[in-house]
Amino acid sequence: MDKRAVIFDTDPGQDDAVAILTALASPELDVLGIVTVAGNIPLSLTTRNALRLVELAGRTDVPVYRGSDRPLRRSLVTAEHVHGETGLDGPDLPEPQTLPAKGHGVDFLIETVRSRPAGSVTLLALGPLTNVALALAKAPDIAERLAGLVLMGGGYFEGGNITPTAEFNIYVDPDAAAIVFGSGVKLTVLPLDVTHKMRSTKERIEAFRSLGNNSGKAVAAMLSFSERFDVEKYDWEGAPLHDPCVTAFMLQPEIFQGREINVEIETESVLCRGMTVADYWGVTDRPKNAFWVRSGDSDRFYALLTERIGRLP
C-alpha cells in the first residue's frame, strides 16, 4: 500500500484529538510529525495534549514540535469554555513522558516539505493558521511543493461559531488565514457548512465506548465532555465534530461533496473579522483558490472514525 505523507498542524482540542487518533490508526497515512499552535488553549497545553495523544495511540515514533504561541498581529483568543481548562477535559489521561522534538515547528514544516519529493506531502491544519502562514512567508516555494493543504475552518451557509460571521480557527488569526488563502497552495476547506452535519449523537459516542479499548473509551469521554456546550448552544441531538472531517477527507474523500470557489478572508471589519467570504455562486470574477466542502455523509463518516479508533490500543 502506498502511504500518503501528512503533517498535522493542530491545537488539541477534543475534536483535534479524534482527527489525530484516526490518522495514527490508518495505514494509508504516514504521519511525519505533529506541529502545535496556540488556539483552543495556549501552546504549552496544545503541545502537552499532542504528546498525550501519541502516547495513547502507542505512536511515540511520531514527533511533536512546538509552533507559534500567538497570532501574527493580535492577542490570542482561546476556547476553554468549550474544551475545558486542559483542552482535553473528559478522559483521565496521564501526564506525557515523551518530550517535544527539538526545533521550531515552522522550521520542521519547511525542512520536511523541501526534503521530500515535490507533491508528496499534504499538510493537515486543524487550528489557527499561524504556523502555516509563517512557513509560507519564510519559504514561498513550499506552496508548490505541497501536495495540498486540507484545513478545517470557516463557514458560509452556517455563518460563524465564535462570532455571527466567523469560525473560531480563522477568527483567531485572520491575518495568517489571508496569507494562506492567497498563497497559491492547493487548498481544501472543511467549513462549518459540512462539520455541522457531523453530529456526535449519544449512539455514536456509545459506539466509541463500546469498542472496549483505551482509545475508544477516551474518545467517548472527550466527546461526552465537549458536546455539552454545542448541544445547549444549537439545541441539537448531538454536537458537531469538526476537525476529524480533515482526516476523513484524506481517507475517503468520496464521503464529501463540494466545489472549487474563490474564498477571501476579512481582516479589517469590526463586525466581520475572520469571515470567510466564499463566492459559492460565482458572482465575482475572482480566481478560484479553494475546494469548498459543503456536505457529507455523516453515517459513513462516523463508521470510518469508529472502525479506525477501534484499531488503537
> Where are the chain's structural domains?
4-309
7-16, 66-75, 235-244: least confident range: 235-244
Give the pLDDT band of residue 1 (cuts 50, 70, 90). Answer: low
pLDDT at 99 over 90: yes
Q: Which of 83, 104, 196, 242 is catalytic?
A: 242
**CA separation (Å) from 165 to 81, 192, 265, 290?**
19, 11, 11, 19
Give the pLDDT band of residue 81 (cuts 50, 70, 90). Answer: confident
Q: How far is Cα of residue 32 from the mean position of the Cα atoms in its chain? A: 16
pLDDT the model gives residue 209: 97
Q: What is the pTM of this model?
A: 0.97
* Cell representation of residue 7: 503533517
pLDDT the model gives residue 294: 98
Give the span between the Cα atoms of 234 and 72, in whole angstroms.
Answer: 31
242 is catalytic: yes
Give one DSSP letter per residue of the chain, joined into a string: -PPEEEEEEE---HHHHHHHHHHHT-TTEEEEEEEE-SSSS-HHHHHHHHHHHHHHTT-TTS-EEE--SS-SSS-----HHHH-SSSS-SS-PPPP-SPPPSSBHHHHHHHHHHHS-TT-EEEEE-S-SHHHHHHHHH-TTHHHHSSEEEEE---STT--SSSSS--HHHHH-HHHHHHHHTS---EEEE-HHHHTT-EE-HHHHHHHHTT-SHHHHHHHHHHHHHHHHHHHHH--SSEE--THHHHHHHH-GGGEEEEEEEEEE--S-TTTTT-EEEETT--S-PPP-EEEEEEE-HHHHHHHHHHHHTT--
User: How confident is the model over 175-202, as pLDDT tens digits?
Assistant: 999 999 999 999 999 999 999 999 999 9
221: number of Cβ within 10 Å? 20
pLDDT at 152 over 80: yes
Q: How far is Cα of residue 229 from the mean position of the Cα atoms in its chain? A: 19
User: How confident is the model over 121-132, as pLDDT tens digits?
Assistant: 999 999 999 999
Is the peptide bond between 67 and the residue preceding it cis, with omega within 30 degrees of 0? no
Would you say 187 and 294 are in contact if contact means Cβ atoms under 8 Å apart? Answer: no
- Residue 205, burial from CB neighbour count under 10 angstroms (0-12, 13-18, 19+): buried
Would you say 249 and 256 are in contact if contact means Cβ atoms under 8 Å apart? Answer: yes
Q: What is the CATH number of domain 4-309?
A: 3.90.245.10
User: How confident is the model over 244-274, as pLDDT tens digits?
Assistant: 999 999 999 999 999 999 999 999 999 999 9
Side chain identity, residue 261: I
Report, as an integer, the average pLDDT of 223-233: 80
Residue count of the chain, please give it.
313
pLDDT at 211 over 90: yes
